[in-house]
């Protein structure tokens, strides 16, 4: 369950909405500038709401009534930003292992490497990777944190068509193979249809509606 009920301000832009979704994969869908990324940043703990409550599963991340505001490092979230934010001086293997709990089974590392087709890249550094490869490494690193939820901010943005299709297929496999709650920010219909179970429509900082992805695909 993802529960959001919050208000926040960024300059002159105001976002205020409430939603609750039992979906394992929820998409925040809307045009650029509607507030999707601001909402994701608030969930991640990188933007503080003026008021409200943010909860994922049994964990309350923010609640102004109880003065709960967990710092980002304690929210147990895997966040993938558009710019990936890999460490340029570390190899792919070292980037993947960064932040990974020490008790993570070696098999889990191998599973993620296989899922995202990263085996041949483990010794390279980010500067030697293509845009699609960088995005896959960032997704793998987030997964290996063993998060309670995975937050994806436009994971296919700025990728060429062929590379975009490749990364999208890896994300489909991730959805099938890993039982992790996922929050996807996107304005691309095909991306949402492929990866989400439920779609929350965001417009001008407000919730415009919520529907199952099957209904969204035929609308």
Q: Are 25 and 197 in contact (CB under 8 A)?
A: yes
Q: Where are the domains of the chain?
A: 23-44+73-218
Nearest to 206, CA basis, from 65, 46, 38: 38
Q: Is 11 exposed, middle or buried (0-12, 13-18, 19+ CB in 10 A)?
A: exposed
The residues, ordered by sequence, that sit 6+ positions from 111 with a Cβ below 8 Å of its Cβ are: 177
CA distances from 167 to 95, 115, 130 (A): 18, 11, 12
In which band, very low, low, confident or very high, does the pLDDT at 127 lie, cut at 50, 70 and 90? very high
Q: Which residue has the higher pLDDT, 68 or 174?
A: 68
pLDDT at 131: 87
Instruction: Read off the DSSP letter of residue 24.
Output: S
In which band, very low, low, confident or very high, does the pLDDT at 122 lie, cut at 50, 70 and 90? very high
pLDDT at 85 over 90: no
In which band, very low, low, confident or very high, does the pLDDT at 205 lie, cut at 50, 70 and 90? very high
pLDDT at 89: 95
Query: Among the CATH numbers 3.40.50.2300, 3.30.428.10, 1.10.10.10, 3.40.50.300, which is that of 23-44+73-218?
Result: 3.40.50.300
Q: Which range has the worst mean pLDDT, 169-173, 193-197, 201-205?
A: 169-173
Query: What's this model's pTM, rounded to 2 decimal places?
Result: 0.87
Mean pLDDT computed over 47-61? 94
Average pLDDT, the chain: 90
């Amino acid at each position: 369950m993802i529960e959001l009920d919050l208000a926040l301000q960024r300059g002159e832009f105001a976002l205020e909405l409430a939603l609750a979704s039992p979906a394992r994969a929820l998409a925040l869908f809307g045009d650029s500038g509607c507030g999707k990324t601001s909402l994701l940043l608030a969930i991640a703990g990188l933007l503080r709401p003026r008021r409200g409550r943010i909860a994922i599963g049994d964990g309350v991340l923010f609640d102004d009534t109880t003065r709960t505001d967990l710092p980002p490092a304690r929210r147990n979230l895997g966040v993938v930003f558009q710019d990936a934010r890999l460490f340029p001086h570390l190899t792919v293997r070292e980037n993947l292992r960064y932040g990974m709990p020490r008790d993570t089974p070696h098999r889990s590392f191998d599973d993620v490497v296989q899922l995202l087709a990263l085996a041949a890249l483990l010794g390279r550094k980010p500067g030697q990777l293509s845009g699609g490869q960088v995005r896959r490494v960032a997704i793998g690193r987030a997964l290996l944190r063993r998060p309670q939820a995975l937050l994806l901010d436009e994971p296919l943005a700025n990728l060429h068509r062929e590379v975009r299709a490749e990364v999208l297929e890896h994300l489909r496999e991730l959805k099938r193979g890993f039982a992790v709650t996922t929050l996807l920010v996107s304005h691309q219909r095909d991306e949402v249809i492929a990866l989400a179970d439920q779609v929350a429509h965001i417009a001008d900082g407000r919730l415009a509606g919520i529907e199952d992805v099957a209904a969204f695909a035929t609308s």
